Amino acid sequence: MYTPPNLTLQATMQRFRRRWSTLPDHREPNNNQRYTIAAGALAAFSVFFMQSPSFLAHQRLLQRRKGRNNAHSLFQVTEIPSDPQIRNLLDPLSAAEFAVDFWYIVEELRRHQQLGRFQNELDTYAIALDGLQFYSSEKISCPQCQKRTDRAGVEHFYHSAVTPVVVKPKTPQVLPLPPEFIVPQDGQEKQDCERRAAKRWLEQHHGHFPAQSVTYLGDDLYANHPMCQLVSETYQQFFIFVCKPDSHEGLYQWLSFLDKNGAVESVTQRHWNGKRGELWTYCLANHVPLRNGEEAMSVNWFEVTITDEKTGEVLYHNSFITNHAVSADNVAPLAEVGRTRWKIENENNNTLKTKGYHFEHNFGHGSRGLANVLATLNILAFVLHTVQELLTPAYQRLREALGTRQTFFNDLRALTRYMIFDSWDDLFRFMEEGLELPSVPP
């Protein structure tokens, strides 16, 4: 295995420096322009990549003592702005400016035949959609904030986004895509807000995948006529959305009628989970109306119920709608892909909140776009970690040798606090030698 040349950490950071040098500069000509916009973006990104709010402070100290620092050698930061300066530099920017950096990584993975790692048994890429809140305050707000009032009458300002993620069954890694931020104009109801943001994301980014190459996954919130029609007819892609009886009365009335007439097919498979036998029962029906009315879209439906073979206890139950044709032969892989939606909660949202990214922490709110820009850079750091975990042998060996993610990043932070490394290769080589890992032939 080798890392594609353009996806090594050193090459990626050099690419970011070149690309971010073209970011718009909204400062007046008479303002102090010692620091470039690129320096602000690279400096902020370094904090998220290293998962260390104090990383830049340590590099400023190294610069004073030794005349060099790792922010420059590893992250291409020519001069390190202060934290307030970083916030001022980035606040006028739109988070959308960084979407191209996500797609650059996706296209490089595709070009080097690595994106196929995420292709599932349906011969599609599964992209899970979900809303994620990342900021809340009772006092600080900006024009991008949403607002809600609790039962005590206290106002809360918050930010949230739809965070699409490429997921695959039995694959621990996920690949985040550019977020789409929910804005006050989207309304007050959570469902409307998330749906509108998801539709904007589809409109802006659907062209990065050929027709019929994506299966979009989502909870019951997405299982509505406009969204299903948009995915299926406008963008020529597939969907598998959770479909609950309470919110789809018309559809389930049809299913009840079909079931009484023997038109709902059933398939049962036995699985051994290592401790006990399980019965996986699938029910399926094609060409059922998504809602009441003559113009209702026709969808295909299936459900999966997992029970303990001995006790009959229900271990899992869910039902889905899709525009994939459903049969006894493919209902199991369809259900497996549909159930993979949970990875956006566990492998993406939970990782961002609890695995060192501190996604809900207020790194800086600003008065314009700062909060969203910082959230985007944080997710982009997660993408780069994922790419290294998938493709960089030295990164993989170190992660395996050190055991836990926390230990790995603790070591990165400690080493770069006291020593200066000319490149990421030098840093990883030093760590491998210190751990006395066996040398690997080129």
Amino acid at 236: Q
Supply the pLDDT for residue 37.
Answer: 97
CB of 228 closer than 8 Å to CB of 323: yes
**Residue keyed to tokens 């610069």:** 63
How far apart are the C-alpha atoms of 257 and 88, rounded to whole Å? 62
Supply the pLDDT for residue 28.
Answer: 79
Supply the pLDDT for residue 29.
Answer: 74
Supply the pLDDT for residue 156.
Answer: 87
DSSP code at position 296: P
Supply the pLDDT for residue 42.
Answer: 98
Q: How far is CA 237 from the centre of its chain?
A: 20
**Domains located in the chain, CATH noted:** 5-96+361-434 (no CATH), 121-351 (3.90.350.10)
Supply the pLDDT for residue 440.
Answer: 62
CB of 283 closer than 8 Å to CB of 359: no
The pTM of the full predicted model, rounded to 2 decimals, is 0.94
User: Per-residue confidence of the chain (442 residues) as pLDDT tens digits?
Assistant: 567 889 999 999 999 999 999 999 988 776 667 899 999 999 999 999 999 999 999 999 999 999 999 999 999 999 999 999 999 999 999 999 999 999 999 999 999 999 999 999 999 999 999 999 888 888 888 888 888 888 888 988 889 999 999 999 999 999 999 999 998 887 767 676 899 999 999 999 999 999 999 999 999 999 999 999 999 999 999 999 999 999 999 999 999 999 999 999 999 999 998 889 999 999 999 999 999 988 899 999 999 999 999 999 999 999 999 999 999 999 999 999 999 999 888 888 888 888 888 887 778 888 999 999 999 999 999 999 999 999 999 999 999 999 999 999 999 999 999 999 999 999 999 999 999 998 665 5
Helices 37-50 and 405-418, packing angle to 10 deg: 130
Helix (H) or strand (E) holding 238: strand 238-242
Q: Which candidate, 82, 40, 61, places its Cα nearest to that of 419?
A: 61
Helix (H) or strand (E) holding 146: strand 146-149
Q: Is the dihedral of CA 218, 220, 226, 232 positive or negative?
A: positive
Q: Which candidate, 102, 209, 196, 165, places its Cα nearest to that of 349?
A: 165
Strand partners, 137: 157
Q: What angle do CA 400, 405, 410 make, to 5 degrees?
A: 110
Q: Is the dihedral of CA 94, 87, 7, 130 positive or negative?
A: negative
Structure tokens at 76: 């291409």
Q: Which candidate, 165, 161, 105, places its Cα nearest to that of 135?
A: 161
